[in-house]
Every structure is written in structure tokens, then in C-alpha cells.
Structure 1
Amino acid sequence: MAPRKTDPVNVEYEAKAKNLLKAELKRKGVTYAQLAELLSGRGVQENERNLNNKISRGGFSAAFLILCLESIGCSDLRL
């Protein structure tokens, strides 16, 4: 059975994913508007506001996380 959105473990790891992505964006000096442009170049249409909301919630897929990280040129992660 898949974990529920309110499951404390799920909440914890969504927060970790959100913080990881935000930290990498900050480290690379990439804004949400710039990320939207980079994603557009890969065929993914997201605007700055949607990205802000999606990342703030933290409820995005692993595929989205990897897509964003690759788009900003992040090849190494420290967990």
C-alpha cells in the first residue's frame, strides 16, 4: 500500500526533497523564472508561479526532481 499524503514519513521526505531542490537552485543562482525557461527547453511547460507553488508544497515526483536538477546543471548531490 502506498503511503498517504499525511503519513509522517511521507511529509518528512517531501520536505527533504523540497529543501534539496531549493538549496540547489540557490547554490546555482537559478530563479523560478529561469528554471521555467530551462524546463521549457526540455519540452516541459511550467510558469514561475506554478513552479513556486509546486516546489513549496514539496509534493512532486522523483522524475520532476531529477528533471529540475539536470536542467540547472546539478550532477552531484549531498544528502
Structure 2
Amino acid sequence: MNATPLNASVPADGAAYAEWEDRAKELVLWGMAQRKLTYKELARRLERYGIDESADQINRKVNRKRFSAAFLLACLAAMEVESMPVPAKSTQRKLRPPR
């Protein structure tokens, strides 16, 4: 009897998430650019939420695009972001702060 694995249609390498990881990174960088924040200032703001990470740790996490949705939401809250564009499809342009 041949059994098909339940996750046979899911790519093993996580390629399906790569674009979303790029967008998550862009959202953090967009919020920082809009408010002219450094990683050090973001780290200070995250401390108010009980998140104790150095500026270097945050920088590495964001640049490697390996962070949780909870971390993304905490960053957005710490930056006091109330709304931002989240494109449904990939676009050629990067997110930019409004002028």
C-alpha cells in the first residue's frame, strides 16, 4: 500500500515563506524609517513591553528575516504604528514612509 505524506504539497525548504519574510522585514524597517528610529531606540522602546534585546540582536533578527509574528507586532506597537500598507501581491517597489 502506497501512502502519500500529508504534507506532500508543502515545499520542504520553506520557499513559500521567503517573500513573506521579506515583507515582514520591510514592515519593521518601514516603521523605523518613518519615525527615524535606530535599532538602539527600538530596543529601548521594546524594553517598555518587557522585551530585553540589544540593538545588535534586533538588527541581526531583522536582517536575517527570522522572527516571530509576536516580535513583529511588538516592534510595531513599540513604534506606535497604527496602520501601514500590507500589499497582497509582490510589487517591484519597496515600502516607503509617507511624505
TM over 0.5: yes
Counting matched residue pairs gives 78
**Larger Cα Rg: Structure 1 or Structure 2?**
2
Question: Residues 14 and 58 of structure 1 are in contact (CA less than 8 Å); yes or no, is this contact kept in structure 2?
Answer: yes
Report runs of 4+ in structure 1 exceeding 2 Å deviation: 1-4
**C-alpha deviation, 1:3, in angstroms:** 6.4
Give 2:71's aligned residue.
64
Among 22, 31, 48, the alignment partner of 2:55 is 48
CA distance in 2, matches of 1:41, 1:35: 10
For structure 1, which runs of at least 5 residues remain unmatched after alignment?
none
**C-alpha deviation, 1:52, in angstroms:** 0.4
The residue type paired with residue 38 of structure 2 is T
Among 16, 22, 30, the alignment partner of 1:15 is 22
Question: Residues 3 and 10 of structure 1 are in contact (CA less than 8 Å); yes or no, is this contact kept in structure 2?
Answer: no
Greater fraction of residues in helix: 1
Q: CA RMSD in A?
A: 1.6
**C-alpha deviation, 1:7, in angstroms:** 2.0
The residue type paired with residue 28 of structure 1 is R
For structure 2, which runs of at least 5 residues remain unmatched after alignment?
1-6, 87-99
TM-score (structure 1 length as normaliser) = 0.89
Q: 1:12 to 1:44 in 2, by over 3 A?
A: same
